Structure 1
Amino acid sequence: MRRFDLSGLLEPPFAARRHPATDRVATESLEWARRLDLIGAGRSEHRLRRAGAAELAGRACPQAQVDRLRLLTDLFSWLFVVDDACDDDGLGNAPTRLAPTVAALLDVLDRHGVPAEPVPAAGGLGVALADICRRVRGQRRPELLLCLVSQLREYLLALLWEASNREQQRVPGVAEYLQMRRHTGGVRPSLTLTDLAYAGLPDPGQRVDPALTALDDLAVDLVCWCNDLFSHRKEQDTAADPHNLVTVLAAHTGRSEQAAFDLATGWFNDGLARYLVREAALVARLEAGLEPYLAARRSWLRATYDWSLRADRYA
């Protein structure tokens, strides 16, 4: 397997921290996944251990209350299991195969965390998702619950887009990929639970401020592009999948794989520089309520970089 040089990737200039309860939460979250039949013994448990969900959460929320760190870790575990089922187990190879699972999970989301009988078609994925929504509902932050449910719907529907591309062996265009990657990465719902952990969310007027929404989009892009650069090494050993920034750039610019990798690295570096400029402009406005929101995104950018360097998932 060819190795691509990641030394040109800029390190986010934010403090690297790790929650002191990370290891404990890792054990508890794995037991949660077993208890709710999200995973079984053997391969699925091994993959989830390698994913390091608690490690990512502990770096993204180094000062959170432990119960909220657990909630974020459990969401990561759920997202990793869905991702592995679609990418490695063939669930996402065709939209007709994936659609019944998506429909069952959308039914779970429509309940907004209200306890109810599980949806049999959703299996352990549905039981675990219902539990996450129930716990978010228990935080008594309805605006965050509504935001989470909406973002998870977008995530599930975007998985059908990926499945259609795989079935047709289609590499999406660059602009199309950049837009859809914001949804397939599962970053938005993860940021919402990070905002819950930081107890920070701007008021509605601030939230729709173009400067803030642009910064949020850029943060999501940077997390996803960083993920694509690190995961590209692993994906070379598996069946070809069109859903990676490097693959998309190579297909639509006529560049070699190495040149496309270098281009994607440059995009990340330029995006990080723009992020710092835009964030500084928001900080200068000194608006109340923005600091926890911005702190959550700083932690996420740093956490993604540090976790990716160490993750067995990309080994």
Structure 2
Amino acid sequence: MRTFAATALTPPPYEALVHRAVGEITAHTAEWADAFGLAPTEAARERLSRANAAELAARACPEVPVAAARLVADLLTWLFAFDDRCDEDAMGTDPGRLAPALAPLLEVVDRFGTAAHADYQPAGPTAAALHDLCRRIRALGRPGGLLRFSAAFREYLFALLWEATNRQLHRVPRFAEYVQMRRHTGAVLPSFALTDLATDGLAAPADRVDPRVVRLDLLAADLVCWCNDVFSYGKERLRDGHNLATVIAHELSWPERAALTEAAARYNAGLAAYRSLEAEVLAEADTRLSRMLLARRRWLRGTYDWSLSASRYS
């Protein structure tokens, strides 16, 4: 499947970079995950190590201070670990079990990283690690960015319930529904929000709600997720219907190979549309919006390059 993806997908035509401290970031993130017990068994640690979240962060944020890159890597590690937990504990197929597990996480996010008082302690290692992330984001002193991250993270948590319900019912979503929800189940938007904080790319509110910028941000999130879908199809096709190629095959009654080819074609068309609109917006962008768009380019290229060697989906 990796050979197909590398051949069928157009590489994002942006500079491929990796953070100079990728080794340090990797070591830190492994220690951070161990300190919070995010991977309590040897098998879980091996699976989390194979995700190599630190490399993805180092590619998506190649030019930020080391502390900021570590924060992004820790968030991605948390997301991979929670995804593993949903798979291993079967929570991802049972919304009745997943909902109670999300409540303490939502409580953490609602507190916006404020110091834990004597009457409040995060409920378990997953919540404690998330609280640490929120606390460190709060310490950056950018409340607007913290609000964006928290809002996007809430959407991610609730989207997981949608995904679990589909799995319980053996339901394959329609294409338009899948595209909308995939942005959230993939946790790309909170990752973008944290990256904007790390790169000082917090665009002005007027720019954030500009229809062209909104379109670019959503399309960037789609492209990150669709790239992952094509690279991971060989593994995910055996699990459930939450993959772009599977959704296309189901909706159009197409054979597997044709649907996978169409998924790659939609990624390529989306990338071309992104580049065209990006050029239009950049012609009028101020410094902060330009940094935000640079961060999106880093994510698009970084995701593609990381996927070429990611053993998590092999």
Into which bin does the TM-score normalised by the smaller protein fall? over 0.9
Unaligned runs of 5+ in 1: none
Deviation at 1:91, TM superposition (A): 1.4
Equivalent residue, structure 2, for 1:54: 54
Q: 5 Å matches for 1:255-294?
A: 255-294=254-293
Q: 5 Å matches for 1:11-160?
A: 11-116=11-116, 117-120=120-123, 123-160=124-161
Q: Deviations over 1:118-159 (max 9, x none)?
A: 233xx1110000000000000000001111111111000000
Deviation at 1:252, TM superposition (A): 0.7
1: CA distance between counterparts of 2:61 and 2:2?
Answer: 31
1: CA distance between counterparts of 2:241 and 2:96?
Answer: 19
1: CA distance between counterparts of 2:101 and 2:268?
Answer: 37
Deviation at 1:89, TM superposition (A): 3.4
Query: What SS does the aligned partner of 2:4 have?
Result: coil
Equivalent residue, structure 2, for 1:197: 198
Deviation at 1:217, TM superposition (A): 0.6
Deviation at 1:4, TM superposition (A): 6.9
2: CA distance between counterparts of 1:274 and 1:194?
Answer: 23
User: Matched residues, percent identical?
Assistant: 50
Query: What SS does the aligned partner of 2:62 have?
Result: coil
Deviation at 1:88, TM superposition (A): 4.0
Preserved CA contact (<8 Å) 1:4 1:261: no
Preserved CA contact (<8 Å) 1:246 1:261: yes
Q: Say whether 1:230 aligns with 2:231.
A: yes
Preserved CA contact (<8 Å) 1:188 1:220: yes
1:277 partner letter: S
Q: Deviations over 1:64-88 (max 9, x none)?
A: 1001001000000000011112234
2:223 partner letter: L
Query: Greater CA deviation, 36-45 or 83-92?
Result: 83-92
1:113 partner letter: G
2:243 partner letter: N
1: CA distance between counterparts of 2:108 and 2:92?
Answer: 20
1:167 partner letter: Q
Q: 5 Å matches for 1:298-309?
A: 298-309=297-308
TM-score relative to the length of structure 2: 0.96
TM-score relative to the length of structure 1: 0.96
Preserved CA contact (<8 Å) 1:39 1:124: no
Q: 5 Å matches for 1:237-252?
A: 238=238, 240-252=239-251
Equivalent residue, structure 2, for 1:216: 217
1: CA distance between counterparts of 2:88 and 2:303?
Answer: 22
2:122 partner letter: V
Preserved CA contact (<8 Å) 1:118 1:126: no
Preserved CA contact (<8 Å) 2:2 2:308: no
Preserved CA contact (<8 Å) 1:104 1:126: yes
Preserved CA contact (<8 Å) 1:109 1:153: yes
Unaligned runs of 5+ in 2: none
Preserved CA contact (<8 Å) 1:95 1:163: yes
